[in-house]
Amino acid sequence: MTTQSTQQDNPQAIRQEILELVNKYYHAEFGYGEFIPGKTRIGYSGRVFDEREMVAATDALLDFWLTLGQWGDRFEKELARYLKSKFVSLVNSGSSANLVAVASLMSQQLGRKRLVPGDEAITPAVTFPTTFNPLVQLGLVPVLIDVEADTYNLDVSLLENALSERTRLIMVPHTLGNPCDIKRIVTFAREHDLYLIEDSCDALGSTVDGKMVGTFGDLGTFSFYPAHQITLGEGGAVVTQSSKLDRIVRSLREWGKACYCAHGEMLPFGACGRRFQWRINGVEYDHRYMYDNIGYNLKPLDIQAAIGMEQLRKLPEFAAVRRRNFQRLYQLFSQYEDFFILPRTLPGTNPVFFAFPLSVRPEAPFSRKEFATWLEEHNIETRVIFAGNIIHHKAYKYINYRVAGKLQHSDSVLRDSFFIGLYPGIDEQRMAFIEEVATTFLNRFGAR
């Protein structure tokens, strides 16, 4: 135990004591979760953490730097290493990551290669709102194409038909962490000189031929909301392999500033050494307050990044549990294939699923609502597949968009599809309970 006088003299000793107490607090408050079947809620996802995240967050809080700083720099480096990506920028959500990714392609710094309002962006109709919204918000014209009924991903065979003279971008999510046919999409994008953004918000750790999703396109985005593979509370990241795009992304994240000093490089005359020699309208001007982009402020806090450092260490184990749980659920529901369309994965992919999707077949003797209600009554949480066919939502009533072909599967997803959880908080006991509850319902209609 530290004495009073030592504490007063030594901030490090006080800090150590606080961190030890936080550790103790975690075990007292969070350590002993008991599962009561039917009473304890089995979420579709949730934060999974231990004392290490709480200690790291407190450690960063005690630095009291508050805004993005050294913890952010470290997290960006670690995530880049994990993804084998050249550049990673941390932002405050996956939605912000998508906004910045689209905005970066409209930067004047890209000159004639920039996207301009009225350009078209091909994107699937089954999507998350903030995958779709930046296209609309920034004046691009979304061109909607259908998804496949069993991967929930954009149907690559429909890309050709969606092209027009104004097509400049493909904005593609890896829905629920299941990698889409990204190699064919990359080839198509190259052939037609299109930019490609991969929304990998649901797919951290998923690979195609051993390569991480999010690193195939010009830009990739990730979300660290608690439902995802790792969490920072709120948080997101934009990744790119282009130093030019990386500089633009960082500028957009931080007010549009021209200065590219890293957080640790706040030297009096900047990293460039000529902070006061830059010119604006012929006048020498402080580079710190010069603007290359029409930016935002979408930075997270250093405290979030500190939590992220611990979550990243756990990611390989989290991914392994998600994969194991996926197999368990797949085995369970494959006994009822007459009732459900099961999720399909593409050869060469190794997904880390966000959740387990199912579609109730139109000829099944029960509806999605009936099965979901049964599960919810037993405290097993369900969700529908995001927006379903997004264009049917009221928000989009007056937007400018185009549909290429029919959106038949997207409409079926809106009507018949849903998901349940497979996150690492679902342990053996919980999984066995899900199996029991689902089987009781389904066997009423005859075991298959």
Ligand X SMILES: Cc1ncc(COP(=O)(O)O)c(C=O)c1O
Cα gap 293→161, rounded to integer Å: 34
| Shorter beta-carbon distance to ligand X: residue 98 or 412 | 98
Q: Which is nearer to ligand X, 236 or 256 (CB)?
A: 236
DSSP secondary structure code for residue 71 in this structure: H
Q: Mention every residue, 6+ apart, whose C-beta is less than 8 A from residue 65.
A: 71, 302
| 228 in catalytic set | yes
Q: Which of 27, 174, 228, 378 is catalytic?
A: 228
Nearest C-alpha neighbor of 286 from the set 246, 257, 247:
257
Please, which residue, 94 or 142, has the CB nearer to ligand X? 94
**Least CB distance from residue 89 to ligand X, whole Å?**
14
Q: Which residue is nearest to ligand X (CB)?
A: 94
CB closer to ligand X out of 270 and 424: 424
Rounded to the nearest whole angstrom, what is the least distance from the CB of residue 236 to ligand X in the complex?
Answer: 5
Q: Which two tokens stand for residue 219?
A: 């830009």
Query: In angstroms, what is the minimal distance from the CB of 401 to ligand X?
Result: 18
Q: How far is the CB of 319 from ligand X (least distance, A)?
A: 17
What DSSP element (H or E) covers 245?
helix 243-253
Residues of this chain that interact with ligand X (CB under 6 A) are 93-95, 98, 128, 130-131, 173, 199, 201-202, 223, 225, 227, 236
Measured CA to CA in angstroms, residue 292 lies from 88, 348, 435 at distances of 20, 41, 55
Q: How far is the CB of 33 from ligand X (least distance, A)?
A: 24
Comparison of 177 and 270: residue with beta carbon closer to ligand X = 177
Pairing of strands 87-91, 236-240: antiparallel
- Residue by residue, DSSP assigns 181-201 as -HHHHHHHHHHTT-EEEEE-T
Contact (CB, 8 A) for 181 and 170: no
- Known catalytic residues are 228
